[in-house]
Amino acid sequence: MDIAHWAAAHRRSILSLFLFLALAGALTVFKLPVALFPHVNFPRIAINVEAGDRPAGQMVIAVTRKIEQAVRPVPDVVSIRSVSSRGSAEASVNFAWGSDMSAALLQVESAIN
């Protein structure tokens, strides 16, 4: 028996299958989120430090390196990126996807303190 005879014998089953898939697709279209830029929460904690009018070189030695060394042992830290300028330092701590960010925030705060 070739495929044409099989399809002719099971035409109602095939039609039912296609009808079910079409209805499922039509229902799913209205439930899918559509946006130009989807909402994504990156597992990142930003640390900003202000220290008056200290020069950038002094900020790196006195503030930025100490923050990086304090935060590095926190679990699930993937990378630390920091920028120092005159009187301020910014550190961005990236965590692994799926990390508990509430616990990570508490651990980073206690490490900095």
Domain extent, residue 48, equals: 44-112
The domain that holds 78 is classified in CATH as 3.30.70.1430
pLDDT in tens, 39-68: 788 899 999 988 888 888 888 888 889 999
Q: Does 71 map to a domain?
A: yes
Inside any domain, residue 77: yes
If one counts every other C-beta atom within 10 angstroms of the C-beta of residue 35, the result is 6
Residue 63 lies in a domain: yes
| pTM for this model (two decimals) | 0.63
pLDDT per residue over 72-101, tens digit each? 999 989 999 999 989 889 999 999 998 889
> How far is Cα 82 from Cα 60, in angstroms, rounded to an integer?
9
Domain membership of residue 24 (yes or no) is no
Q: How far are the Cα atoms of 13, 52, 57 from residue 85, in angstroms, in the given order?
A: 70, 11, 8
Domains: count for the chain? 1
Residue 69 lies inside a defined structural domain of this protein? yes
In-domain check, residue 78: yes
- What are 81's strand-pairing partners? 92
For 3, the enclosing helix (H) or strand (E) is: helix 3-9
Q: Give the span between the Cα atoms of 3 and 94, in whole angstroms.
A: 56
Residue 22 included in any domain? no
